[in-house]
Amino acid sequence: MGSIERAIEVLKSGGPVLLYDGDEREAEVDMVFPAWVAEPDVIYELRVDAGGLLCFATSSRLTAALGIPWGDELLSSYGELRLLANKRLRYKDRSAFTIWVNHMGVRTGVSDEDRSLTVRKLDEVIKMAHEGDLRGARELFYSEFQAPGHVPILAARSLRERRGHTEMSVTLFKAAGLRPSIVLAEMLSRGRSMSVEEAEKVAEKKGIPLVKGHELLEWCRKNEVCWSD
């Protein structure tokens, strides 16, 4: 079984995968879980074993349907902030960030329990939208969340347009036949991002699949369905 096929099976069972974008981009590894399994213990695992910013990721088609704006577009409408929003990091992609939210049921928003609640409630919104109940999804989102909060929402563009962890994770979920509802965090070492070599050792120790960007892109070349968001 190849790495993509193994990752698909693990995601279907609710387990995590590691995702490496590539040497030519950020050269970073993210730990990725389905959002619907994000109980406090999963948030703890992402916080301790990964350590980077915990994010919720979904499709830009669904964020658009929910009326959620791109973060750079939002900032560009506020005077000199546009000077920040129009900049690009070294890999030149537009940011995948939209807005940051909390569920109204949290205490402060940052604990494992609080972020678990926010992520799982976001999954409920995405599940409704993915299944076609956009009206219900919007009502749930605008009645039960507040912003700014402690969980950033990332939106995936087409994999043809952007090849970041957000797009690659949504692509994997699409390949698995799963709704695009994802919680992820970058893996860190002391003082820096974790190298792919270090991540390979973690993957072997924990029995977690590690998917590399070039492997996913090659798989997608044989499966055109991957290229849409």
Average pLDDT of the residues in 118-134 = 98
Q: Residues 155-184: pLDDT tens digits?
A: 999 888 888 899 999 999 999 999 999 999
Is residue 92 over pLDDT 90? Answer: no
Is residue 224 over pLDDT 70? Answer: no
Q: Which of 26, 28, 30, 167 is catalytic?
A: 30
* Angle at which helices 213-221 and 165-175 cross, to 10°: 50
30 catalytically annotated: yes
Can you give the residue range of the structural domain that contains 47?
3-227
d(CA 167, CA 157): 6
In this prediction, residue 9 carries a pLDDT of 97
Q: Which of 9, 150, 198, 214 is catalytic?
A: 150
**Tally of structural domains, the chain:** 1
Q: Which of 39, 44, 49, 91 is catalytic?
A: 91
Q: Residues 16-57: pLDDT tens digits?
A: 999 998 877 888 999 999 999 999 999 999 999 999 999 999
Average pLDDT of the residues in 6-14 = 96
Q: Residues 185-212: pLDDT tens digits?
A: 999 999 999 999 999 999 999 999 999 9
Euclidean distance between the first and the last CA atom of the chain, given in angstroms as a whole number: 26
23 catalytically annotated: no
Q: Provide the CATH number for the domain around residue 128.
A: 3.90.870.10
Is residue 227 over pLDDT 60? Answer: no
In this prediction, residue 33 carries a pLDDT of 98
220 catalytically annotated: no
Q: Could you please report the per-residue DSSP string of 136-181?
A: HHHHHHHHHEEEEEEEEEEEE--TTT--SHHHHHHHHHHHTT--S-
- pTM for the model stands at 0.95
Q: Could you please report the per-residue DSSP string of 57-74?
A: EEEHHHHHHTTPPPHHHH
